[in-house]
Structure 1
Amino acid sequence: MNRVDRLHSPFEQHSRALAWLAVFGLLLAATNLRGGLVVFAPLVLEIREALSLSASAFGMLTTLPLICFAVISILVPLMTRFFSSITLVVFGLLIISLGVVLRLVASYPVVILGTLLLGSAIALLNVLIPVLVKVFFPSRMGLMTGLYSIMLSLGAGMGLYLAVPMLEYFGHWHYPVMVWALLPLLTCLIWLPLLKLRGEVKPVTGARVTLWKSATAWAVTLYMGLQSFYFYAIVTWLPNILIESGLNPLEAGSTTAMISLASIPFNLFIPIFATKMHNQRSLVVLISLLSFSGLTGLWWAPQLAPMLWAALIGMGAGGALSLSLSFFILRTGDGVQATALSAMAQSLGYLLAATGPVTLALMHDISGHWLTALMLLMLLQIFQFAFGWKAAAAVQIKPDINTHSSKRTP
C-alpha cells in the first residue's frame, strides 16, 4: 500500500500508525483461522496413540469444527448488536488460544471441549474479519480481501507443513500444536491498541437485518457453500484418489500440496479485479473453467498430469473462496448488511462443507471407485457456476425495510 486509506474509515481522526497496525492485525488474525485445526492431521498417529483414539473418534476432531462454523456463524450478527466487532475479535483470539491449549490435555472429553471452543472462536472471526476489511479500508477492499485470503492459505500451510519437522526436532507432538496457542496471544497484542476505535466502530444495537428473502443473498450463500463442499471434499480425498491411480504416497502428498500453492495468486488478484469490475461474471466463468478442467483431467487420466490437475483445482478453489469473500463486501451497502450476509453464507456454507468428505467417501464405498464421486463434483460445478452468475450481477442486496432499523456500522 502506498498510502493508508482514510476515506470514510475509522482512522480519519487517528494516526497512520494505527491504520497500519490494523493491516497487520487483520492479516495475523487470518493466519490463526486454520492452523490450529489442520495441525492435527499430520500428527494423527502420535495423537491417536497418546489419547488411545479410534479412527472414528479422531475423525470427530475434524468434523466438529465445521459444525461449529455452521452453528456459531449465524449467531454473530446478534453478538454485534451488543459488543463492538473489535472487542469480539480480541475475545475470539483468546478463545482460540484456550481451545488449542485444551487440545493438548491427555483426556478425550477435554480435547472435545477444546475443539468446540476452537471451532466456535474461528467461526466468530470468519464472519467478522471480512466485514472489518470493509469498515477499515473501504477503498482498499480488493487488496485487503486478497491479502486476507492469502493469509488463510498460509496459516493452513504452516499448520500442515511445519508439524512433522517440529515433531521430529522437539520429539513430542505438543510443540507444533502449542505454536497455535501462542500465535493468537501475539495477535491480541496488536489488536489491543485498536480497542480505542470502539467509539467509531460501534455495536449495532437495534439493527436487525434479514436476508433470507433475498435471491442475491441466497445465490452468494449457495456459491459459498458449494465452493466449500468442493474444497474440503477434494482436499480430503485427493491423496487417496492419486494413490489408487498408481502414484506412491509421497507423490500423492506433494501433488495435493500443489492445490494450496497454485491458489495463492488467485487468492490475491481475484478480489482486486472483482472490486474494479461492474460485475464479476467473467471471473465466475474463469473460475468454473479452471475447476471443471482440473476435475475432468483427474477423472479422465489422473496419472497423466497429476500436478497440472491439482494446480487447476487449486486455482479454481482459491479463486472461488476469494470471490465468495468479495461478494460479502460488494453485494452489501454497509457493515450491518455485510455481517448478516457473511453470517448467512458461512453458516450454511460450512454446513454443506461438513457433508463433502462423507458424501465422496460414501459414493466411493458404494461404487468401489472414485469416478462417480468426481462426476458428482463436476455436476456441482455447474450449479456453483449458476449461483455465481446470479451473485456476480451488479446489484446490492436490499434487506426488508421493516427489519433494518439502523445503518450504524458494526
Structure 2
Amino acid sequence: MLEKRQAGAVLGPRLRTGLVLLALVMVSVNLRPAITTVAGVMGQVPGVFGVDPTLLPLLGTLPVLAFGVSGPMGPWLARRFGTGRAVAVALLVLAAALVVRATVPALLLPGTFLAGSAIMTASVLVPQIVKANRGTGWWTGLCTMGFGLGAALGAGLVQPLEQAFGGNLPSALAVWAVPALMGAFLIHRSGGRPTTAPTTAGTITPGTITPGSITAGSTTAEEVTPLRKQRTAWAVTAFFGLQAMLYFAITSWLAVYLVSRGLSPADSAALLAWFSLAGLPASLLAPVLASRPAILRILAPGLGMTVALALLGVLAAPAELQFTAVGILGVVQSAGFGLAMALVVIRSAGPQSAGRLSAMSQGLGFALASLGPLLAGMLHAMTGGWEVTFWVLAAEAVVLAGAGFLAIRGPLVSVESAEISQQDAVNPSPVR
C-alpha cells in the first residue's frame, strides 16, 4: 500500500509537469499564425475585404506595433488573475479577434491590432511560467520552436484551407481561432502552476519569501534597483530587439530581393518558407545549449557575428546557391530568437523578474523591430540596390553580438522584492 502511495506521489507531479509543458507549447504555436496567415494571402485582401491597397503596409505593421505597446499588459494581468489565467484570457481575446476580423471586413485592421496585443500579452508571460516551474533549456527550446512552427503552419496552410472551404478566405482565417481556444483550455487547466517544491522555510531566495520574513503591509521595494536602472535588463532588451529587427527586415524583403536576383516569385516565396523551416531545430537547441555557461559565453556574442556573415552570404551567393545560403541564414536567425527567449529566463532571478524582464525586452524590442522593414525599404529605395541594405543589416548584427556579450555579464535581473507583499508571504507561488 505504501509503495502504491509513493508511486502515485511521483506520478502526480510528473503528469502536472507534462501538462504545463504541453500547454506552453500549444500557447506558443498560437502566437504567430494570426500574422503569417494574412501575410500569405496579402494580395487577396483588397478584393475580399474591400481594403484600400495603400493600407496593406499598415496591415503588415499593425501586429508589430501592437507588440510594442502592449508589453506591460501581461504582467499586470498576471498580478491580478494569476499567470495561467492571464494567458488563457489573452488566448480567448486572440480567438475572438481572429473571428471578428475575418467576418467583419470593417474590423480587419482593428481586429489585427487586437490580435497582436493578445499575442504579446501571452508571449511575455511564457518565460515567467517557465521560470516558475524551473524549466530547463528544453522547455524554452520547445516554446521557441512552437513560435516557428506556428509561423510556418500559418503561412503554409492558409491557402489549402481556403480551398478546403470552397475558396472562402474569411473562413480560412477564422478557423485559427480553434487552436487558440484549445491553448486557452490547456493553460487554464494546467494553471501554469509551479510543479517543484517551494524553497526551504526560513530562507529568502529570488522569487520566494517565507511567512514572517516581512511585516504586515510592508514591502522591500527600497532594496531593489528599478528595472530601468539594471544594465543587464537593457542588454537583454537590446539583444531581443536587434534580433527581432533583423528578423522582420529579412522576412519583409527577402522574397523581393530574391526576385531581383532572377528567381521566380514562386521560388522566392518557397525560399522564404524554407527560411522559417530551416530554423526550427536551431530554435529548439539554442536555449538548451545556452543553459551551459561555458557555451553561453561563446554563443551569445558569436551568434551576432554568424548572422552578419550569413547575411553577406545571401548577398554574395549566386541564384543556384540561394537555397543553401537562405537555409544557413534561417538557422542562425532562429537560433538568435531562441537565445533571446532563453536569456530572459537565464538572466532573471525569479519568476516575477522573468515576467517583468520579458515585458520590457519584448515590448521595447518589438517597438524597435517595427523599424526594421522600414529601414531596409528606405535604404533600398535610396540606393536602388540591395548592397547597402545588406551591409547595414550585417553591421546591426555586429551590434547584436555586442549586446549578447553584455547580456551575459553582470548581475541577474531582479525585481522580486519589489513585488512581494504579505500576501506573497502567505502564498509564495507566483503563478496561481
Q: TM-score, normalised by structure 1?
A: 0.89
Match of 1:183 in 2: 179
Which segments of 5 or more consecutive residues in structure 1 lack a partner in the other structure? 1-10
Structure showing greater Rg: 2
CA distance in 2, matches of 1:195, 1:326: 22
CA distance in 2, matches of 1:379, 1:318: 18
**Overall identity of the aligned pairs, in %:** 27
Aligned ranges for residues 105-254 of structure 1 at < 5 Å? 105-108=103-106, 110-136=107-133, 138=134, 140-170=135-165, 171-195=167-191, 197=193, 210-254=226-270
CA distance in 2, matches of 1:163, 1:240: 21
> Between Structure 1 and Structure 2, how many residues are aligned?
396
CA distance in 2, matches of 1:385, 1:197: 35
Match of 2:292 in 1: 276
Q: In the TM superposition, what whole-angstrom CA distance separates every residue of 1:261-304 from its partner, at most 9, and x where no partner exists?
A: 22111111111111122561211244234312221122223525
Amino acid at match of 2:70: I
Match of 2:202 in 1: none
Which of 357, 370, 379 matches 2:373? 357
CA distance in 2, matches of 1:291, 1:391: 17
CA distance in 1, matches of 2:350, 2:17: 20
Match of 2:204 in 1: none
Amino acid at match of 1:253: A
Aligned ranges for residues 385-404 of structure 1 at < 5 Å? 385-393=401-409, 395-399=411-415, 403=418
Which of 312, 315, 328 matches 2:331? 315
Shift of 1:134: 1.5
Q: 8 Å contact 1:145–1:322 — kept in the other structure?
A: yes
Match of 2:347 in 1: 331
Shift of 1:260: 1.1
Shift of 1:192: 3.2
Q: 1:104 to 1:268 in 2, by over 3 A?
A: same
Q: 8 Å contact 1:50–1:106 — kept in the other structure?
A: no
Q: 8 Å contact 1:242–1:302 — kept in the other structure?
A: no
Aligned ranges for residues 74-93 of structure 1 at < 5 Å? 74-93=72-91
Match of 1:101 in 2: 99
Q: In the TM superposition, what whole-angstrom CA distance separates every residue of 1:59-92 from its partner, at most 9, and x where no partner exists?
A: 2222111111111113433333222001101101
Larger deviation: 277-286 or 254-263? 277-286
Q: 1:256 to 1:144 in 2, by over 3 A?
A: same
Match of 2:6 in 1: none
Q: 1:269 to 1:300 in 2, by over 3 A?
A: same
The answer on 1:301 being equivalent to 2:350 is no
Q: 1:185 to 1:249 in 2, by over 3 A?
A: same
RMSD of aligned Cα (Å): 2.7
CA distance in 1, matches of 2:358, 2:263: 39
Q: In the TM superposition, what whole-angstrom CA distance separates every residue of 1:4-35 from its partner, at most 9, and x where no partner exists?
A: xxxxxxx9995433322212111111010001
Shift of 1:122: 0.4
Secondary structure, counterpart of 2:348 in structure 1? coil
CA distance in 2, matches of 1:327, 1:277: 12
Larger deviation: 190-199 or 201-210? 201-210
Secondary structure, counterpart of 2:279 in structure 1? helix
Larger deviation: 220-229 or 163-172? 163-172
Which segments of 5 or more consecutive residues in structure 2 lack a partner in the other structure? 1-8, 199-206, 210-216
Match of 1:381 in 2: 397
Q: In the TM superposition, what whole-angstrom CA distance separates every residue of 1:100-143 from its partner, at most 9, and x where no partner exists?
A: 011112432x222211221111011110012111212x1x4200
Shift of 1:172: 1.1
CA distance in 2, matches of 1:46, 1:203: 52
Q: 1:196 to 1:324 in 2, by over 3 A?
A: closer
Larger deviation: 33-42 or 168-177? 168-177
Q: TM-score, normalised by structure 2?
A: 0.85
Where in structure 1 do 4 or more consecutive aligned residues deviate above 6 Å? 198-209
Q: In the TM superposition, what whole-angstrom CA distance separates every residue of 1:301-335 from its partner, at most 9, and x where no partner exists?
A: 35252112211211111111011111111111101
